[in-house]
Structure 1
Amino acid sequence: MEKKLNGILTLFLVFMVQLTFAQDKTVTGTVTDDTGLPLPGVNIIVKGTNSGTQTDFDGNYSISAQAQNTLVFSFIGFTKQEVVVGTQTTINVTLETDAAQLDEVVVTALGIERSEKSLGYGVSTVKSEELNEVRETNVLNALQGKTSGVNIQNQSGNVGGSTRITIRGISSLDGDVQPLFVVDGVPISNANIATGSRITGGFDFGNRAQDINPDDIASVTILKGASAAALYGSRAAGGVIIITTKRGKAGRAAFQASTSFRFDEPLILPDFQNEYVFGNQGEVDTDTPIRTNPGFPGWGPSITTLAGQTYTNVAGEVVPFEIFPGNVRNFYGTGATSINSFNVSGASEDGTDDYRLSLSYTDQEGIIPNSSLNRTNLGMNAGSTLTEKLKSRINVNYVRTNTVGTAAAGANDPNVLTNIINGLPRTTDFRLFEPEIDEFGNQLNAPGLQTNNPLFIARQNAAETNVERFFGNVQLEFLPVENLSIVGRAGYDSYLDRRFTKNRIGTLGRLQGRFTDDFIQSRQLTLDLIATYDWLLNEDFNITIIGGTQWNQRVVDRIGNSATNLVVPELYDPGNAENNSPFKAFSDRRIHGVFGDITLDYKGWAFLNATGRNDWSSTLPANNRSFFYPSVSASVILTDAFNIQSDLLSYLKVRGSWANVGGDTDPYRLDFTFNPLTGFFGQYGLGGNYPFNGNLAFSSDAVIANQDLKPENQENYEFGIEFGFFKNRLTIDATYYENFTSDQILQLPTPQSSGFSGFLTNIGQVSNKGFEVELGAKVIRSEDFSWDLNYNFTANRFNVDDLGDIPALNLATGFNGIAVRAVEGESLQLFGPRFRRVTGDDGEPIEDQILVGANGLRQVGQSDNLGDIFPDFIMGLTSTFKYKAFALTTTFDYREGGKMFSNTVGQLRRDGLAAETAVNGRADIVDSEAFILNEAGDAVPNTVAVSPQSYWQSFANASIVEGNVFDATFIKWRELSLTYTFPREVIENTFIKGARIGVQGRNLAIFNSDVPHVDPESSLGGAASNLQGIERGGVPSTRSFGMNLNINF
């Protein structure tokens, strides 16, 4: 009886379990993206059935299912996810972005959206999540290491300083070769206009791409080749950066707030020796005040030999000798940057009307005392379907930026770093420079050492710029008939840049004081009219035809005044200056273009595209003003063409393109003109103004104009192949390209006797040939853990193919005889005086045999090429680990090869301040790498010992550039972020819809660098100059540590 009862109970329990599993129950939950933001419109189906639903505006859903059922969550652009119901009644899901989705839509030229698989040329897209993983004040810096074919160089650690970007090398030898920037289909300015000479104390106030709010960006698409950029015309010779801003999504109003805060400190500072005091050849005159003591900052005796001895310091005090190891680091403060942003967005239920409003405020304090940047960004992006056939969109951005304390470039008196290392020994206590002025307003410094008090430069001579900018566009789209779209768009970009630089009375080199007011107003208007027609011929063929016209005008108006010899201190007014030199510059240029584009689509796996554009440029002669450039590209999806269905090979595409693009020149280079002179500049009371004694004065252009200029011509070939393996867990995109630019518009030198500096002409050809690879790997995928890798590689070889009858041409000259030179058959070279070499039997110097003089010291030899300024290759690696709600992302940037010259290193070595000058107790040195002539005149290994001071002052001689040229290879740890996304169940009973908190770091470390004391990425030239590979007194680059918080509600 008991056995029967147990059997009945067992049968009853089994029956109840089956009944429970067979019963429907309501499952609810929320679907979010990997940032915690709710996803509306996600499809949820019960696997194997027709039962399904979608998430609402807040990402919430409700569905009936049974315990044994599996729910499938899917959404365009995200990886599909399956969850077994089991005993759960609440299932919250986080969908991950599908980085390997190969058929995504990308924005191409003129804002045209195309399926990525249809493109016959290479593009790279960086999403907003990648840009803002570690917050940056300049969006270009956030792109470093994340895409192939792009070289991004942060010039220095200056607040508001410029960032240089080039795509697939430089396409022209004439100045600015940066890409065209386009925001929501409309070109905007990325100008980098310097005030003064970068070599002798000018100011780099940054490039205008920094005005773009990174929080407003949905994606950045980089059009690399001429085929990709051909529809933009001559302005796109350097490639195109297309920025698409965020829009509202369907649903109720969504609010998002984010805040980030970080600390900034110098990444690399000079490695000083901390043993030897000021003096000469190991001796010091302790009875002479340091203000007037002869000798050098670091070539005195060891501090260990001076116990109990005293000297007179910069303050006139008699004090014991003491080394201050951290004095330079203590001068540079710890910077702080906060970025706070807020936006509200939404759209109607059917998505026909949308809006997004944003506000962002950036507050940055630099590492140099009294340096800061404050920026306010306001943005609006709104669209509306006015009627069934008419749509509208408006995008408006307002930016206001104030920058104080931008450090001067070069090595003259206004430069802070120059005044720190020039003449200040290791016994310098920077506390003695505080305050920087006395009670009478005079500078407290060490005048005998011919250096300014660096705190005086930073606080009393702070440069300032105020920029107000407005850019945006208005667009109407008309749909007159089915498959026909006509878009009219007007874009406007305007900014006013008000700059003020000054030298207070008492500044060494500018003792009587000076100041400059500089006002730059830039205006750009772009009008587009574009018609698009989709024509479905049959079930196999589809044709898309695009035609349109574009009109662009760019006006730059610059006016200002430079004044010297102030009468009353600190009154920076033209009426208070003895000498005023007003200046004015104006340019107005226009381009009108017509274009056409046709794309043939065969069964969705074969694509052929052809474009043509004709431009008329106002900067070229009437007979050469019109120029036409075509392009052709094709792509085939082989896996679709041959119906390849394999887990191993998921995707295979081949593509190729050819394009021919023209380029114009700057305005007013066709006619010979005279310009009125307003004054002549002079220091120390010299100078004057015109009219002078009632007479006017005019000066001619320094460059001879050419009325027969032709447009530059660029021809581009590109071939690529794209793979997807293991269901696209592994993707590879490889590209080979060749780019030739002929009829370069260059300024060639003329004899000094002509009275002109040069003449303009079309001459020569340059080329870029390169190979790019982008690799994406989903290395690990499990329920709680994932690991993704993204790798990119770029190798570009630039070559000067032809310079006509000229073997070489100096593109940019510096100091001490150094220059950047174009040499036929070579890349761009550093050029300058080398060490003297042993002369061979053929009369030519022997490269590996440096010849010293009879005194054992190196000598000045011939000027020659010192190395290629461009890297051999660039690599980037981003790794992302995710475990449950945690995500760890890190990015490395590797650059191999290229040469750089550092004036800072040479100065440290010459003055005995660099750590390497103090090795081996400063025993005498034999230059064992060199040769010396014996009595017979034969070159034999050198055995002459010299003092360390003599050795380093000859090795780092200012007139011998070679001793300060280094291999610029480096690896930088660009980014690190660790974030935590709050689970839905933690915040479901609050007003918060999603939240994420994290810590972050940027430029954390530098490895594998052979450049001592300075960052190998530093450059004097700025973003728009060919004066690259040269460093002189730059502000140290910074490393950053901070945290950020994002909340959606």
Structure 2
Amino acid sequence: MKEFVRPKFTYLVFFLLLFSAIISANGQARTISLNLSKVPLNTALKTIEKQTSMSIVYNTNDVDIARTVSIDVSNVSLSTAMNRLFKGTNVIYSIVDNHIVLSTKSNSTNQQPKKNIPVNGTVTDDQGEPLIGVSVLIKGTTKGYITDIDGKFNMQAAVGDVLEFSYIGYTSQTVKLTNGQPLQIVLSEDAQTLAEVVVTALGIKREQKALSYNVQQVKGDAITAVKDANFMNSLAGKVAGVQINSGATGAGGATRVVMRGMKSLTKDNNALYVIDGVPIFNTGASGGEGQYGVNGGSDAVADLNPDDIESISMMTGPSAAALYGSSAANGVVLINTKKGKKEKISLTVSNSTTFSSAYIMPDMQNRYGTSTGLFSWGAPTDRRYNPKDFFNTGSNIINSIALSTGSDKNQTYLSASTTNSDGILPNNSYNRYNFTARNTTSFLNDKLTLDLGAQYIVQNNTNMMSQGQYYNPLPSLYLFPRGDDFDEIRLYERYSTNYGYMTQYWPYGDGGLSLQNPYWVQNRLLNTSNKKRYMLNASLKWQAADWFNITGRVNLDNSDYRNELKKYASTKTTFCGVSGGYEDEMRQERSLYADVLATVDKAFGDFRLNANVGASIYHTSMQTMGFAGDLIIPNFFALNNLNYSANYKPLPEGYEDEIQSVFANVELGWRSQLYLTLTGRYDWDSKLAYSKQPGYFYPSVGLSAVLTEMFELPKIITYAKLRGSYTKVASSFDRYLTNPGYEYDSQTHNWANPTVFPMDDLKPEETSSWEIGLNVRFWENRFNLDATYYRSNTKNQTFEVDIPSSSGYKKAIVQTGNVQNQGIELALGFTDKWADFGWSSNATFTLNRNEVKRLAGGSTNCYWRTNRNA
């Protein structure tokens, strides 16, 4: 029996409190120098921004930024420079927080004083994403506000005032204030779009220019343009540095996602999947590798409805994923799902139907006919064998309906979808039914925001193909004797008068490879899986102040499976008895995740601090119970028909894992030009129980410089950023290595002593990585280039080695190795829009060099060291 040990520690939650500075007074006190002759006003404004570290916002309808100006002042106050710059015009200015707000003078001189009322609201784009830094001005005054990172504003205005909303890259909008109801403003894209805010680790929103690592975002329409039963397959080739391989198991099969090359020689290199900031328990069932791989299956991420996905962020480097801990050592696929829109009702109905066929077949030897059995070394023949006739035309039909509705205080999203796929192999199918509900509500004057979500998924599949030799129809299909008629074996079973039931027809033997009739494999070695899954999630955000909030989240993800394998009588006796065989397994997967996150976002002087401090707990468990054996009554598939004296064995398996963590992220920005980011995380992992390692810590550091804010670059360059980062991440070794238990022999039904020498001085597998990158946009953001060079080294690989039997064990653990990955990621894009038409094109390039720098040198053998010390 295996014992689960929960790590012991007490969570420490830190709250960082800052006090605001008086920005307007500082702004007035700044001195600047300008020596400009006949330049556009826009050039003068950018120069003032750089010298004062303040941003200038205005409505493009009120300020003529193309107006030619000349000014020559030295060490004068900001007030003096602004007054001289706009002398003789109708433009006035004011300072709000760390922003210089430009507006026009009111033409009315005899207005009665107005009574101000509180005005608040949210500004978003067409997709419902909040816009940060939108200028909200009261027309004809200098009063205004700037939206925060959630797109929200809160100000004072009077009924009848006209509010002007303007933002670079979007069409300005004016709204006349009629009451104090919250406003929901949607700005449409203008000739260009600036992706200012992206979602990063733990669901934290960051300004894109502040990121010191590479995050590539893919919108939901890239997934739904051509839908696949597993939506991850739709991302192949769309993201640089990411290798996406769909499994050869059939429709709906598991997908392998590897970022920046294979890092571990012994562990899973698949990326971590995260939904709305919460990791999911992803158990991909590939069926194993090699000659004896068994039937595969789907993976947990394939259960998602692609129409529910808003966007996907690919965090290819360890620096981007460091806050997720050991699970993210191989990168993160961050999935953001849809929620209801404010003041908007939409009903979406969609259908996607695609067909597939076998595209390329192996080159077949058709010159010589049958010699004997499965061998084709006989006399020359004119018969032409084409195994493509064995394959069907596959289909994938996805139907979806979604309802989005909401008010300013409450938004709801509901959806349902069906996915029905038939593979290109006979009798291979995949079906899934998704039901999703999500509700977001705010209360207590928007101080509290509650987000509740639920998903229920019913999924089943039949005959996911094995990638090995067993349970795979392809070896016998491709080796079929060239001189024989393939149509003869299409009738794969025939009635036997000796047995009294249908038996397999395959007159060629197994060729020493346990081969069978390919039609029999697909129709009489039935592998089915039925799954029911539900996911419940909740988050509560408390906006304690405009610069400080606390968010708590919890997510429950449970799945129940029933997997059956029915082997009909006359199946090759390598797999079962004469009367057939049966396997019936029940499987439960349970996952509970909870975290708390405190966020500080505060500007003071030339600096802006964005800090996150939190703690999390992630508990996962898996339990299976089942039985397998030969049948007594042929083709009667029931547990009470198993022959307990012939190949009978129970199928128990299970484990529990838990990771408890504290983490912090600090980002310090200077003049919106230079950003320094530091992260740290400490994990207590249950796999480390009984070892000398209580846990492990890994840090990261990054620096981002916005070159277009620091220097005058050629006009063709709209935006340029140089970035670099360094990080260390770690992942635990396999469970039970430090405390191996008794081992059960399913053949003899006896317990045996452990065969692996217990180790207590193992180290987590460690990856050190650095990267540098350049992000450039040209010609008013019509063309963009993202380039990254990276290098990572993974050490402390864990291997089993043979040891003398005199030790009482068969195996010991060795930790060694150094696997290096280095390469280049390039992403190119071109976008342009006109009045009624727009188009975009993207291309990616990836170069990765994987090298084993050291395999055995400097290895640590705990067995020999323990015995030597003794």
2:586 to 516, 519, 525: 519
Task: Tell me the distance in 1 between the aligned counterparts of 2:457 and 2:376.
Answer: 48
Distance 1:761 1:808, change over 3 A: closer
How does 1:836-875 map onto structure 2 within 5 Å?
Answer: none
Percent same amino acid among aligned pairs? 31
Q: Give yes or no for contact 1:102–1:117 (8 Å, CA) kept in 2.
A: no
How does 1:152-167 map onto structure 2 within 5 Å?
Answer: 152-156=244-248, 158-167=250-259
Instruction: Look up the match of 1:652.
Output: 720
Distance 1:140 1:529, change over 3 A: same
Instruction: Look up the match of 2:448.
Output: 390
Give the secondary-structure state (helix, strand or coil) at the position aligned to 1:595: strand
Q: Is 1:405 aligned to residue 469 of structure 2?
A: no
Distance 1:576 1:429, change over 3 A: same
How does 1:146-295 map onto structure 2 within 5 Å?
Answer: 146-156=238-248, 158-193=250-285, 199-274=291-366, 276-279=368-371, 294=372
Q: Give yes or no for contact 1:103–1:117 (8 Å, CA) kept in 2.
A: no
How does 1:344-383 map onto structure 2 within 5 Å?
Answer: 344-348=403-407, 350=408, 352-383=409-440
RMSD of the TM alignment (CA)?
3.2
Task: Tell me the distance in 1 between the aligned counterparts of 2:360 and 2:170.
Answer: 42
Q: Is 1:457 aligned to residue 521 of structure 2?
A: yes
1:766 to 790, 796, 819: 819
Give the secondary-structure state (helix, strand or coil) at the position aligned to 1:231: helix
Instruction: Look up the match of 2:618.
Output: 552
Q: Give yes or no for contact 2:632–2:641 (8 Å, CA) kept in 1.
A: no
Distance 1:785 1:490, change over 3 A: closer
Q: Give yes or no for contact 1:77–1:104 (8 Å, CA) kept in 2.
A: no
Structure 1 residue 808: Cα displacement: 15
Letter in 2 for 1:624: Q
Distance 1:228 1:723, change over 3 A: same
1:847-869 C-alpha deviation (Å, 9 max, x unpaired): xxxxxxxxxxxxxxxxxxxxxxx
Structure 1 residue 793: Cα displacement: 1.2
Task: Tell me the distance in 2 between the aligned counterparts of 1:135 and 1:479.
Answer: 39
Instruction: Look up the match of 2:564.
Output: 500
Structure 1 residue 77: Cα displacement: 10
Structure 1 residue 495: Cα displacement: 1.2
Instruction: Look up the match of 1:607.
Output: 675
The higher-RCO structure (CA 8 Å, 6+ apart) is 1
Instruction: Look up the match of 1:301.
Output: 379
1:411-430 C-alpha deviation (Å, 9 max, x unpaired): 23x22112222344353232
Unaligned runs of 5+ in 1: 1-32, 42-48, 51-72, 83-93, 280-293, 305-322, 681-688, 691-696, 810-1049
2:852 to 772, 789, 800: 800
How does 1:810-959 map onto structure 2 within 5 Å?
Answer: none
Structure 1 residue 483: Cα displacement: 1.5
Give the secondary-structure state (helix, strand or coil) at the position aligned to 2:571: coil
Distance 1:347 1:460, change over 3 A: same
Distance 1:381 1:34, change over 3 A: closer
Instruction: Look up the match of 1:694.
Output: none
Task: Tell me the distance in 1 between the aligned counterparts of 2:267 and 2:721.
Answer: 37
Letter in 2 for 1:133: A
Q: Give yes or no for contact 1:332–1:367 (8 Å, CA) kept in 2.
A: yes
Task: Tell me the distance in 2 between the aligned counterparts of 1:38 and 1:660.
Answer: 36
- Of the structure 1 ranges 566-575 and 540-549, higher mean CA displacement relative to structure 2 is found in 566-575
Give the secondary-structure state (helix, strand or coil) at the position aligned to 1:251: coil
Structure 1 residue 767: Cα displacement: 1.8
Letter in 2 for 1:629: Y
Q: Is 1:581 aligned to residue 649 of structure 2?
A: yes
Structure 1 residue 78: Cα displacement: 7.3
Structure 1 residue 604: Cα displacement: 1.7
Task: Tell me the distance in 2 between the aligned counterparts of 1:206 and 1:38.
Answer: 32
Distance 1:608 1:368, change over 3 A: same
Letter in 1 for 2:253: G
Instruction: Look up the match of 2:150.
Output: none
Task: Tell me the distance in 2 between the aligned counterparts of 1:364 and 1:727.
Answer: 44
When the two structures are aligned, how many residues end up with a matched partner? Answer: 683
1:709 to 751, 762, 781: 762
Task: Tell me the distance in 1 between the aligned counterparts of 2:443 and 2:476.
Answer: 63
Task: Tell me the distance in 2 between the aligned counterparts of 1:261 and 1:75.
Answer: 42
Task: Tell me the distance in 1 between the aligned counterparts of 2:595 and 2:298.
Answer: 29
1:285-317 C-alpha deviation (Å, 9 max, x unpaired): xxxxxxxxx36543222335xxxxxxxxxxxxx
How does 1:654-673 map onto structure 2 within 5 Å?
Answer: 654-673=722-741
Q: Give yes or no for contact 1:568–1:576 (8 Å, CA) kept in 2.
A: no
Give the secondary-structure state (helix, strand or coil) at the position aligned to 1:303: coil
Unaligned runs of 5+ in 2: 1-123, 132-138, 141-163, 174-185, 862-870
Distance 1:262 1:74, change over 3 A: farther
Q: Is 1:561 aligned to residue 627 of structure 2?
A: yes
Distance 1:329 1:764, change over 3 A: closer
Structure 1 residue 205: Cα displacement: 0.9
Give the secondary-structure state (helix, strand or coil) at the position aligned to 2:521: helix
Distance 1:447 1:191, change over 3 A: same
Q: Give yes or no for contact 2:291–2:468 (8 Å, CA) kept in 1.
A: yes
Instruction: Look up the match of 1:835.
Output: none
Distance 1:411 1:182, change over 3 A: same
Structure 1 residue 198: Cα displacement: 5.2
Q: Is 1:736 aligned to residue 792 of structure 2?
A: no
Task: Tell me the distance in 1 between the aligned counterparts of 2:398 and 2:191.
Answer: 28
Letter in 2 for 1:114: R
Q: Give yes or no for contact 2:128–2:341 (8 Å, CA) kept in 1.
A: no
Letter in 2 for 1:635: S
Structure 1 residue 229: Cα displacement: 1.1
Letter in 2 for 1:796: N
Task: Tell me the distance in 1 between the aligned counterparts of 2:191 and 2:829.
Answer: 8
Structure 1 residue 95: Cα displacement: 11
Give the secondary-structure state (helix, strand or coil) at the position aligned to 1:535: strand
Distance 1:741 1:258, change over 3 A: same
Give the secondary-structure state (helix, strand or coil) at the position aligned to 2:404: strand
Distance 1:39 1:396, change over 3 A: closer
Letter in 1 for 2:516: N
Letter in 1 for 2:478: I
Task: Tell me the distance in 2 between the aligned counterparts of 1:239 and 1:548.
Answer: 21
TM superposition score normalised by structure 1:
0.61
Instruction: Look up the match of 1:529.
Output: 596
Instruction: Look up the match of 1:489.
Output: 553
Instruction: Look up the match of 1:138.
Output: 230
Instruction: Look up the match of 1:888.
Output: none
Structure 1 residue 432: Cα displacement: 4.6
Structure 1 residue 167: Cα displacement: 0.8
Q: Give yes or no for contact 1:706–1:760 (8 Å, CA) kept in 2.
A: yes
How does 1:750-789 map onto structure 2 within 5 Å?
Answer: 750=803, 758-778=811-831, 786-789=838-841
1:444-480 C-alpha deviation (Å, 9 max, x unpaired): 4133433422222211212001111122411011122
Distance 1:205 1:729, change over 3 A: same
- Of the structure 1 ranges 328-337 and 174-183, higher mean CA displacement relative to structure 2 is found in 328-337
Following TM superposition, the consecutive aligned residue runs of length 4 or more in structure 1 with deviations greater than 6 angstroms are 37-41, 73-79, 94-100, 752-755, 806-809
TM superposition score normalised by structure 2:
0.73
Letter in 2 for 1:396: A
Structure 1 residue 251: Cα displacement: 2.6
How does 1:669-708 map onto structure 2 within 5 Å?
Answer: 669-677=737-745, 679-680=746-747, 690=749, 697-708=750-761
Instruction: Look up the match of 2:534.
Output: 470
Distance 1:776 1:77, change over 3 A: farther
Instruction: Look up the match of 1:618.
Output: 686
Q: Give yes or no for contact 2:318–2:329 (8 Å, CA) kept in 1.
A: yes
- Of the structure 1 ranges 726-735 and 622-631, higher mean CA displacement relative to structure 2 is found in 622-631
